[in-house]
Structure 1
Amino acid sequence: MELKRNAFKAALREGRRQIGLWCTIPDSGVVELLAGCGYDWLLIDTEHSPMDPVQTMPLMQAAAPYPVSAMCRPAWNDAVLIKKLLDCGAQSLLVPFVQNAEEAEAAVRATRYPPHGIRGVSGCTRANAYGSVAGYAKRAEEELCVILQVETVEAVDRIEEIAQVEGVDGIFVGPADLAASMGRVGEPAHPEVREAVTEAVRRIRAAGLPPGVLSSDRPLLESATEAGAQFIAVGVDAALLRRGAAELRDSW
Structure 2
Amino acid sequence: MLLLLTGLGWGSNWPALQLLLREMPPLAARSYAGLASSFVFGLGALAFGVRLSVPRALWGRLALFSALNVTAWMGLATVGLLWLSAAEAATLAYTMPVWAALLAWPILGERPSLTKLLALALGIGGVVILFAGRGLDVGLAKLPGMLLLLGSAMFFALGAVLAKRYPLPMHPVAAMVWQVGLGCLPLFLLSPFLETVRLGELSPLGWFLMGWMAVVALGIAYLAWFGALARLPASTATIGTLLVPIVAVLATGLLLDEPLGLREWSALGFTLAGVLLATRRRA
TM range (shorter): under 0.3
TM-score (ref. length: structure 1): 0.28
Q: Going by fraction, where is strand more abundant, 1 or 2?
A: 1
TM-score (ref. length: structure 2): 0.25
Higher RCO structure, 1 or 2 (CA under 8 Å, sep 6+): 2
